[in-house]
Amino acid sequence: MSVIWLSHSLHTPKYLAVFSLSIVDVSTSTALVPKCIDYFLFDSRFVLYDACLTQMFFFHYFYSMESLSLVVMAYERLISICFPLRSSAINTNTRMVCIILFCYVFAFAILLASMILITRLSFCQPVPLIISYFCDHGPVFKIACTYNTPNWNTAVVYMVSIIFVPLTFIIMSYVCIIAALAKIASAEGRWKAFKTCTAHLILVAIFFIPILVTYMIAWINIRIDTNTRILNTSLSATLPPLLNPIIYTLKTEEVMEQIKKFIRRRMVKPVTSIIT
């Protein structure tokens, strides 16, 4: 984030999307990890109702933004590769900011509806037991003893609009990208263009494969061991924010070049001050 913020050469639509993804990664970890540490290390198994809803909202909000951020990055790659001569006119910084802000508002609207429906539920147990390691939306509304069909419908809308539609858009984007790359005459030119997509493809795989397994299991109601489900959910929630910055740093030449420039400047400054 600091490298993108301080490097004017990285103030482009591509790195605006990367910067937004970085904010989402930090926010997702902040919403989830502290309470998990309290649970796993200190065996703190109780959470207040308001605190539970707060964690549920912010975790799912930023998790939704993780998916939508990958869509925005796929859109940026689609425009850059399929319309190379017009990409700077089609996809300006202002337009990219508007697209990112729309994604934030869209995710907020879906999560707000989910939270309103959760607050209308009643729980028969004095202290409801959530079969999860955090206040997850599904495990919470499933233990309610009142009518929860609207919550099920909201969960389906969430899965379709945040998981399946974004993944479909990303797949279709890469179909168009591959078709555009096939028109390039040289193999070296095709590989050079496709190489700019490898970091994004790795992020897509890291994010969508675990979550697809988790949600498909929940959708078709397959009974699996609780610890297995929690392990899969925790990995799908914590691995993307951990690996995204590393992958985009190591796989992106522009970011590595700017990091090297910052290091060289830091090394040169003390020497010049001694000489003067």
User: Quick one: pLDDT at residue 218?
Assistant: 63
Tell me the C-alpha distance between 246 and 244, whole Å.
5
Smallest Cα–Cα separation from 212: which of 155, 161, 164? 164
Contact 72, 96 (CB under 8 A): yes
Question: Average pLDDT, stretch 27-53?
Answer: 79
Considering the chain, what percentage of its residues have pLDDT values greater than 90? 16
C-alpha separations of 98 from 72, 87, 112 in Å: 11, 16, 21
Considering the chain, what percentage of its residues have pLDDT values greater than 70? 86
Alpha helices in the chain (DSSP H): 2-6, 13-42, 49-82, 87-90, 93-119, 137-142, 149-159, 165-182, 187-195, 198-219, 226-251, 253-275
User: Quick one: pLDDT at residue 165?
Assistant: 92
User: Quick one: pLDDT at residue 140?
Assistant: 82
Decide if pLDDT at 270 tops 60.
no
Q: For residues 230 and 24, which has the higher predicted lDDT (pLDDT)?
A: 24
Decide if pLDDT at 216 tops 80.
no
Which tokens is 276 given?
Answer: 């003067």
Q: Which helix (H) or strand (E) holds 89?
A: helix 87-90
Smallest Cα–Cα separation from 204: which of 106, 77, 74? 74
Which tokens is 32 given?
Answer: 């989830």
pLDDT band at 235 (very low <50, low <70, confident <90, very high): confident
Question: Average pLDDT, stretch 213-228?
Answer: 66
Decide if pLDDT at 127 tops 70.
no
User: Quick one: pLDDT at residue 170?
Assistant: 93
Among the residue ranges 23-27, 101-105, 130-134, 146-150, the one predicted with the least confidence is 130-134
User: Quick one: pLDDT at residue 61?
Assistant: 92
What is the value of pTM for the model shown?
Answer: 0.83
User: Quick one: pLDDT at residue 175?
Assistant: 92
Decide if pLDDT at 261 tops 90.
no
Which tokens is 249 given?
Answer: 């740093």
User: Quick one: pLDDT at residue 251?
Assistant: 66
User: Quick one: pLDDT at residue 133?
Assistant: 73
Provide the mean pLDDT of the chain.
81
- CA angle in degrees (0–180, nearest 5) for 76-108-121: 145
Question: Average pLDDT, stretch 23-32?
Answer: 86
Contact 61, 113 (CB under 8 A): no
Q: Which residues contact 37 (CB under 8 A, 6 or more apart)?
A: none
Smallest Cα–Cα separation from 140: which of 47, 267, 217? 47
Contact 255, 10 (CB under 8 A): yes
Among the residue ranges 7-16, 50-59, 107-116, the one predicted with the least confidence is 7-16
Q: Which helix (H) or strand (E) holds 80?
A: helix 49-82
Length of the chain: 276
Name the one residue in this structure whose structure tokens are 């790659």.
77
